[in-house]
Amino acid sequence: MKFGVREICDVVFKAKADTKIGTSTFQKGQPVLYIDSAKTSTIEGAATTVYAQGGRGNTRLIAWEGEKTLTFTVEDALLSPIGFSVLSGAGLFKDEATNVHVHVTSNAYVSASGEIDLTDVLGENETIDATAPVFVMVSEADGSITGDLIKGLTVEGKKITGAAEEYEGKSVFVDFYVVKSSKNVSELQIDAEHFAGNYYVEANTLFRRESDGVDMPVEITLPNVKIQSNFTFSMASTGDPSTFTFTMDAFPGYTMFDRTKKVLCVMQIVEDANAGSETRKSVMGHTTGFEIEEAKEEKRPNNKKPNGPKKPFNKKPAPKATEAKQAE
């Protein structure tokens, strides 16, 4: 059997021990992260070779191999807070009972009454936090800060009042904080003490068989990987969006089903896959009792009825005058 390899891997990271991420606790063997949006996935094996050399020309006589390594790399197009915590070792804080400060900046202007209204940049239930630093600085027409700090201001809900008359009508840059419930904020804490951990990784992909073109399921198991705590966020106004690379160094480990032999990786190629025989049904069928949403009266714009009078259904036309006379 020969096969070709091209399809991407879907990957599951499972906890090697009881693990807590944010407010969630994952028991040993429980899936922590599932990646189904990968762009590339690569398994790379390497080894070091040394040689005994001698004789005329100092040719190689015998080879010894060792220091075998295996690296599994997955480049993901999307990332979740838990995914970033797994990748970087960052702590994930999310507690519904706690409020947190969130930094906000805005460009505004001073009204004739010396008031700066920030209603448009705040949520319905949000206000400026008067207990945190609030800075209002005069800005140029292009938005650049002049360094001219307006003092003697008072915070009143969504507004800042008390600007002197000399600032009326001027554009300002406002730097302030609002208080939000932590249930609406995922806080990722990166420190110098915590790093990405070890996980039991299972991945699945497809290998295509040369003889008949059938895609065979392949299960890949790496019983003990250490994720490298490296990441890069590329933030740019043009070009492709940033991707997130999980680079995993494989270490010898036991699979869940055997405790006698440690392995770096196991690949299972399921050869009994058959050619596609999927049964399809019409997606335009007329099913009794099925309600067509678009045909509902209330779905029409502004609840308007169709133009023109409704025509009676299955109603016989009225007899002509001559026919009525003959009937008499």
Q: Whole-prediction pTM value?
A: 0.77
SS3 96: coil
CA distances from 185 to 88, 126, 175 (A): 19, 14, 20
User: CA torsion sign, 286 to 287 to 289 to 295?
Assistant: negative
Considering the domain 3-49+62-92+190-269 in this protein, what is its CATH number?
Answer: 2.30.110
**CATH T-level topology, domain 99-184:** Immunoglobulin-like (2.60.40)
In the chain, which residues fall in CATH 2.30.110?
Answer: 3-49+62-92+190-269
Residue spans in the chain of domains classed CATH 2.60.40: 99-184
- pLDDT by residue, tens only, the chain of 328 residues: 899 999 999 999 999 999 988 778 999 999 999 999 999 999 999 999 999 999 999 999 999 999 999 999 999 999 999 999 999 999 888 777 788 999 999 999 999 999 999 999 998 889 999 999 999 999 987 878 888 999 999 999 999 999 999 999 999 999 999 999 888 888 999 999 989 999 999 999 999 999 999 999 999 999 999 999 999 989 999 999 999 999 999 999 999 999 999 999 999 999 886 766 667 777 787 778 777 777 776 555 555 555 555 555 555 555 555 554 454 4
Residue spans of alpha helices (H) in the chain:
81-88, 321-327
DSSP count for the chain of H helices, then E strands: 2, 20
**What backbone torsions phi and psi does residue 60 show, to the nearest 5 degrees?**
-75, 135
